[in-house]
């Protein structure tokens, strides 16, 4: 089994003219698996110190009980899990006639299927046991179409959106936000390919203006993830891409009134995940051209980078990133081509 190493790169991503800050890291390896084609660790989520999930390709998810990881064998189970505080969990599993949605609340599971044939949920956000959003795709005779559904306590209902929804995030105050960032093969309505941020406001999805970003010829703004850790504070991350390759990273911050672009713009880098660090900062996952993936922290105006790479490998990709609510503890999943690891930060 490969030896995993965690290395702090001394603030190579600092904002220009910002003072260097040494953030003592506490990332450790929690679990390593030789995965091959099946069972690779994917997304991770957490509802509290005794509750975390790791999705596995082609296998049921792993569960954390506060002391150890355990998982079942057999056919694949849920591929998407969202938690809304301690004790409320939503899981999503594909089915031919419907999406099998299950909710854990008040200590018991309930089946709440989305009755949509040939549908696949790609993003979800929940604010509680009676409020959950799910976005995805449906295959019909007319081809692939976008879908958006909202659970309001009694049933799922389809909701119209002005743009395809690629990600969803819920803020602690109950506000729900969405990204629309079509890729090369998934153009927006009318064939446009422009990233947008939307907010559910008075019963409809409205765009919130984002800063104008100069793009090179053939370039596009891609936003990959959205986090709204506090009322009046949010982050959207991604990259400017040319031909699908990242030219430079993009970090947008919401201050309660408007979005602004931060001056942190590392080259040949795309941020793929962002989440709160449990305090005033954020953790991000970086995909870097020609370099292994990295975990990046933003706190007190400074940026620091942690490279995670198994010994003997040249490639590593951060596949999932999650904060343990109410703490500074973190979970991350990393794939290094046949070997996957779950990392923990305490």
Q: What is the pLDDT of residues 45-54, one digit of tens each?
A: 999 999 999 9
Q: Give pairs for 117-124: CB < 8 Å, separation 24+.
A: 119/147, 120/94, 121/80, 121/92, 122/80, 122/166, 123/80, 123/165, 123/166, 123/167, 123/168, 124/80, 124/82, 124/90, 124/92, 124/168
The mean of the pLDDT values for the chain is 88
- Torsion, Cα of 296, 298, 301, 304 (10° steps): -30
Sheet-wide strand order for 80-83: 80-83, 89-93, 100-105, 108-111
Whole-number pLDDT of residue 25: 53
Whole-number pLDDT of residue 64: 96
Whole-number pLDDT of residue 197: 98
Q: Please tell me the distance from the alpha carbon of residue 305 to that of residue 299, in angstroms, as a whole number.
A: 12
Write out the two tokens for 99.
């999406």
The set of residues, in sequence order, having a beta carbon less than 8 Å from that of 339 and lying 6+ positions away, is: 1, 2, 32, 33, 34, 35, 310, 313
Give how far Cα 270 sits from Cα of 144, 195, 250, 286, 335, Å: 27, 15, 7, 6, 17
Whole-number pLDDT of residue 14: 26
Give how far Cα 72 sits from Cα of 18, 39, 40, 75, 311, Å: 48, 11, 14, 9, 29
Q: Please tell me the distance from the alpha carbon of residue 92 to that of residue 37, in angstroms, as a whole number.
A: 22
CA-based end-to-end distance of the chain: 24
Global pTM reads 0.90
Q: Please tell me the distance from the alpha carbon of residue 173 to that of residue 50, in angstroms, as a whole number.
A: 24
In the chain, where the domains are located: 7-68+210-346
Whole-number pLDDT of residue 192: 64
Q: Are 277 and 299 in contact (CB under 8 A)?
A: yes
Q: Are 75 and 58 in contact (CB under 8 A)?
A: no
Q: Are 58 and 336 in contact (CB under 8 A)?
A: no
Strands 339-345 and 51-56: unpaired
Write out the two tokens for 119.
């549908």
The set of residues, in sequence order, having a beta carbon less than 8 Å from that of 149 and lying 6+ positions away, is: 114, 116, 133, 134, 135, 156, 157, 158, 159
For 23, list phi and psi in degrees, rounded to 5: -95, 115
Give how far Cα 237 sits from Cα of 48, 253, 259, 285, Å: 25, 9, 12, 10
Whole-number pLDDT of residue 48: 94
Burial of 154 (0-12, 13-18, 19+ CB in 10 A): exposed
Burial of 145 (0-12, 13-18, 19+ CB in 10 A): exposed
Low-confidence ranges of the chain (pLDDT < 70): 1-25, 35-38, 183-193, 311-312
Q: Please tell me the distance from the alpha carbon of residue 282 to that of residue 341, in angstroms, as a whole number.
A: 21
């Amino acid at each position: 089994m490969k030896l995993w190493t965690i290395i702090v790169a001394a603030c190579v991503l600092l904002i220009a003219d910002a003072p260097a800050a040494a953030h003592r890291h506490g990332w450790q390896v929690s679990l390593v698996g030789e995965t091959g084609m099946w069972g690779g660790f994917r997304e991770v989520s957490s509802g509290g110190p005794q509750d975390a999930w790791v999705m596995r390709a082609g296998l049921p998810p792993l569960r954390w009980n506060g002391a150890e990881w355990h998982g079942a064998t057999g056919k694949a189970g849920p591929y998407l899990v969202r938690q809304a505080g301690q004790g409320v969990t939503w899981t999503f599993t594909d089915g031919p006639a419907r999406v099998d949605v299950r909710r854990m609340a008040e200590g018991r599971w309930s089946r709440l299927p989305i009755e949509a044939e040939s549908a696949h949920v790609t993003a979800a956000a929940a604010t509680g046991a009676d409020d959950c959003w799910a976005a995805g795709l449906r295959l019909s005779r007319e081809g692939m179409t976008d879908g958006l559904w909202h659970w309001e306590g009694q049933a799922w209902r389809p909701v119209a959106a002005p743009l395809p929804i690629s990600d969803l995030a819920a803020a602690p105050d109950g506000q729900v936000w969405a990204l629309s960032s079509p890729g090369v093969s998934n153009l927006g309505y009318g064939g446009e390919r422009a990233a947008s941020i939307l907010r559910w406001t008075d019963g409809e999805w409205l765009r919130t203006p984002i800063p104008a970003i100069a793009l090179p010829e053939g370039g596009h703004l891609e936003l990959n993830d959205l986090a709204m850790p506090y009322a009046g504070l949010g982050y959207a991350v991604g990259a400017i891409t040319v031909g699908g390759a990242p030219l430079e990273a993009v970090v947008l911050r919401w201050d309660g009134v408007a979005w602004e672009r931060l001056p942190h713009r590392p080259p040949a880098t795309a941020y793929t995940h962002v989440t709160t660090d449990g305090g005033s900062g954020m953790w991000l996952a970086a995909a870097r051209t020609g370099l292994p993936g990295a975990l990046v922290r933003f706190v007190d105006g400074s940026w620091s980078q942690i490279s995670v790479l198994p010994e003997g490998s040249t490639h590593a990709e951060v596949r999932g990133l999650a904060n343990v609510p109410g703490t500074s503890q973190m979970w991350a999943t990393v794939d290094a081509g046949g070997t996957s690891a779950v990392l923990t930060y305490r």
